[in-house]
Amino acid sequence: MNILLGVTGSIAAYKAAEITSRLTKLGHNVDVLLTESGSRFITPLTLQTLSKNKVYMDMFEEITPSEVKHISLAKKADLVLIAPATANIIGKIAHGIADDFLSTVVMAAAGLAPVYIAPAMNTNMYENPIVQENIQSLTDRGYRFIEPKASLLACGDLGKGALADVDEIVDVVTKALK
């Protein structure tokens, strides 16, 4: 199956390497869409090596002039997974903002493939009423969420906001593709 994996600017971005590796070893084709802020936490080369595919970051890069890449990727996707998903990308998607490669692909994929979002952020950010409203709005529109867990966070706070365990994320994706 063809999986699009969106990776955003969270400290949990390093877990995208394990998610990519596991899904690839299960026989899935994984195309990684890395945001600029995500690339501050994990390199495109790491994700490219594990996925065996080009990592997409720049929506204006002409890869194949005869196709519009964010549309062609959306059309071939069997599932879109954003892990980790920041408050920023959740807000963008909830409000129809498509200003980077990942957000344009998600907008184009809506209705074509299920979109799973695995939030990862500080507890106060996750519990912020605006973020919760955005999550509810997306849930009402058919987007699916893989709940973060309560844990000791990278910032030192204890609470809900840590990326779900990689095992859980891979299990959810595997079941969804059956």
Catalytic machinery residues: 155
Residue pair 44/18 in contact (Cβ under 8 Å)? The answer is: no
d(CA 45, CA 33): 12
Residue pair 169/81 in contact (Cβ under 8 Å)? The answer is: yes
Three-class DSSP category at 151 = strand
Q: Which whole-number Å values give the CA distances from 150 to 43, 48, 121, 158, 170, in the listed order? A: 27, 30, 11, 7, 19
Cross-strand partners of 81: 5, 116
Residue pair 34/5 in contact (Cβ under 8 Å)? The answer is: no
End-to-end CA distance of the chain: 10
